[in-house]
Amino acid sequence: MSLMFRRPEERQSMRTILKKAALVAASVAVLAPGTAVQAKPARTVTALLGTYDFGRAGVIGQSGKQAGVWRSYSVRSGFAGDDLIVTYQPRTRPARHETQVYTAAFTEVADASAECRKVGADGVARRVWVSFRCRTGFAPSYTLLVR
C-alpha cells in the first residue's frame, strides 16, 4: 500500500500513528477477553448424596430442588433406607449467602438434629455445598443452612 504525502514529516507521523494503533490493538487483544472465547460451562454431577430414613430422602430431595441447591433428584429404596441421588454443580467456594435447604421437624423424624448434621456433612463431602449449619427452632426442629 502506497500513500502519497507531500512532506516527509507527514510520512513519519503516519508511521508513528500506525505503530501506536497496532500496539493498542495488540494490548486490547491480550488483556480483554475475546467475544469469541466463551467460558466453559460448569459441569454437573449426578451422585448419591446419602442414605436416609424411609420417606425422608424424597422430602430432602424436593426441598433441595426448591431451594436451588441441586437441579434434580431421584430416590432409590434399599434395605437400610432411601438413597437420595442428586444432580448438582460441585462447589469449591462458599456461596455469598446462606441458603435454607429444609427443616426437619421433631414430628417428622425421630432425631431431627442427627438427620440435619448427616445431610449437611454428606453435602460437604460431595461438594454440593462448602459449609453448613443446623439451626434449631422453637420446637425441637432443625433447619439446614448451607453456603
112: CB partners within 8 A, 6+ apart: 104, 105, 106, 140, 141, 142
Instruction: Summarize the confidence of residues 9-30 as an average pLDDT.
Output: 61
Encode pLDDT of 91-141 as tens digits. Answer: 999 999 999 999 998 888 989 999 999 999 999 999 999 999 999 977 778
Encode pLDDT of 84-100 as tens digits. Answer: 999 999 999 999 999 99
For the chain, the domains span: 45-146
**Does the pLDDT at position 35 exceed 50?**
no
Q: What pLDDT does residue 12 have? A: 60
Percent of the chain topping pLDDT 90: 61
Q: Confirm if 70 and 86 have CB atoms less than 8 A apart.
A: yes
Q: Which three cell numbers stand for residue 54?
A: 424411609
